[in-house]
Amino acid sequence: MPAASGWWTSRLQALDFAWRAEGLRWMRRGRDLVDRWNGTRFAITRSASQDPVHAECITPLWTQHAPHEWPLTAGKVHNLRTAASRLDGLVVQAGEVFSFWHAIGAPTRRRGFVPGRELREGCLVASIGGGLCQLSNALYAVALDAGARIVERHPHSRAVPGSQAEAGRDATVFWNYLDLRFALPQRFVVEARLDSERLIVRLRGASPPARSARPVPIEPERRPPAHDCLDCAQADCLRRVASRPVGDRVAAMPVAGWPEFDTWLAARGIRLRATSPTGLAERWHRLAAHACRHRPARRQHHLVAADDARATAWLARVPTEADELIVPVEALAELQRRGALGGRRVTVMMTRSPLRMLHQQLDGQAGEPAAAGLREYRAPDWRVDAEWTALRGAVRVLTPHHAVARWLRTRGLHQVDLLEWDRPAATPSARGSTLLFPASSLARKGAPALREACRALGLPLAVLGRASESPGFWHGLAPVPLDADDPWHGIGAVVLPAHVEHAPRWLLQALARGLPVIATPACGLDPRSPGLRLVPAGDALALTLALYETV
């Protein structure tokens, strides 16, 4: 009977709490209506800011490492990640009031929140949206440091060891009637971000805040320590959290056609549970890209949208406990935009050049007559910046591409691991007299320089790709067709003077067959590879000389 009595008592207390909380929520809604009628304005707009930092608070994310505590700790970090993505960049104009709940909204499962650690009635329990008090504590701390007028703040009833509550700089929140609100006499921007280990909250503003002559005294409050539900012996409590096994802490997004990354993952025992599902949005954009194959800019737009849709579908399957992500570079911008990388160690697989490098490579062709259309191959600024921010925050960047590795390292990214290209088995073949150009007739692949060199030397040429900068691009050369059964039949050398090349598979095959290869550093091959000769991209004279000496 005592156990049954405790069971009923726990549930009656929970029901009583729910009824009281709902009543308080309706009272808050009424007070907010009155406040709005009286002229109170809450901040809702967002914008990036590079204004000076006037206050900053940095706190650790991973403070509990015991296996049985990991699920709720990971849930807390996930909730902080979700809330920070909604809060970052919030602009509070002079005369407006910052409100924690008006900025973030209700912490529900539908809005992406999960069970995390929450302090309720003296106990640390599991609750949807639990852990957001670390964010409200940090916001209260920067508000105090900036001299803000505190409109509303509620202290915790108990102190979590190591938290701001032990110093009296805490602010508890509970949807929606326990809120944190403050204001400054001038415009400011809230910055809330997570790196792999820390929560970083800043207040930025164009002018320094007008601090009061006397700082607000903060006296440590003596509050009893919180009781942790995970260590509680009261088995009949409704809020008791049973221990459960920790899910996968490493999530890798599959990439096709890159055996270098497959080898790296296999060597570390990282198993891909399943291929990323192809959702309706991804399928539609890939079909649209195929339909727009003769409109390059439009086709590229749909391919990028398909990559974003794939990243979103994969993210929905990543377990909350995963604190390490291994993702291809084309997914970075979307994952960064969604705030999915905060609080996690990220490894990036470079399946292409970074967008900043790609723009520089394309800008290097601005003087070429055939490169007018390359102005269309530009990503929006937000995508370039989001990808670069994610790359700088990554713990490891993987690439077999020598040019990409060199470019990243010269810009301060020293966490680059240069992998070995996956080389085909050596299969020597008889050399012919035809040059193979293993790409489409595009400026970024170096087709204009190759056309000029072939005209000067009168060399026979075979072109692999079908796309072209313009009709009759090879006028006067008449490229020879490739053998349908054996495309290497009659080939004497392979040339690719590209400005941009992400995966030089045909060049690797040619080297394995013992054929001479003429390429540019942008192709990413090891300069020490036997049979490889490098020429500058866009230099038709150097290409002509290399072809003359090789062929």
- Which amino acid type is present at position 460? P
Task: Identify the pLDDT of residue 42.
Answer: 75
Q: Is 348 exposed, middle or buried, given 0-12, 13-18 or 19+ CB atoms closer than 10 A?
A: buried
pLDDT above 80 for 4: no
Q: By mean pLDDT, which of 96-110, 265-279, 378-392, 448-462 is the weakest?
A: 265-279
pTM comes to 0.83
pLDDT at 31: 80
CATH 3.40.50.2000 residue window(s) in the chain: 434-549
For 431-437, what is the mean pLDDT? Answer: 89
Average pLDDT, the chain: 83
Tokens standing for 85?
């993505």
User: What pLDDT sits at residue 17?
Assistant: 67
pLDDT tens figures, 185-231: 889 999 999 998 899 999 998 777 655 433 444 444 444 454 455 55
Contact 528, 442 (CB under 8 A): no
CATH superfamily label, 434-549: Glycogen Phosphorylase B; (3.40.50.2000)
pLDDT digits (tens, 9 = 90+) for 98-144: 999 999 999 999 998 998 877 655 566 778 888 999 999 999 999 99
Strands 461-463 and 434-437 come out as: parallel
Q: Give the tens place of pLDDT for each residue, 317-339.
A: 888 888 999 999 999 999 999 99
In this structure, what are the phi and psi dihedrals at residue 474, rounded to the nearest 5 degrees? -95, 30
Range from 77-81, 476-480, 495-499 carrying the lowest mean pLDDT = 476-480
Helix, strand counts (H, E) of the chain = 14, 20
At residue 367, the pLDDT reads 55
pLDDT surpassing 60 at residue 173: yes
Percent of the chain topping pLDDT 70: 81
Which tokens go with 287? 């079909």
Q: Tell which residue, 79, 204, 169, has the closest CA to residue 130.
A: 79
Structure tokens at 126: 């599991």
The radius of gyration of the chain from alpha carbons, rounded to an integer in Å, stands at 30
Which range is least confidently modeled, 19-23, 114-118, 512-516? 19-23
Q: Is the pLDDT of residue 491 over 80?
A: yes
pLDDT band with cut points at 50, 70 and 90 for residue 241: low
- Of 26-35, 423-432, 462-471, 521-530, the range with the highest mean pLDDT is 521-530
What confidence score (pLDDT) does residue 364 get? 67
pLDDT at 64: 65
pLDDT at 467 over 90: no
More confident residue, 518 or 186: 518
| Mean pLDDT of the region 220-249 | 52
- Single-letter residue type at 8: W
**How far is the C-alpha of 203 from the C-alpha of 194, rounded, in Å?**
15
pLDDT in tens, 355-399: 999 988 887 665 555 455 556 668 889 999 999 999 999 999 999
Indicate if the pLDDT at residue 2 is higher than 60. no
Going by C-alpha positions, the residue among 82, 58, 101, 49 that lies closest to residue 342 is 82
How many angstroms from the chain centroid is the CA of residue 192?
16
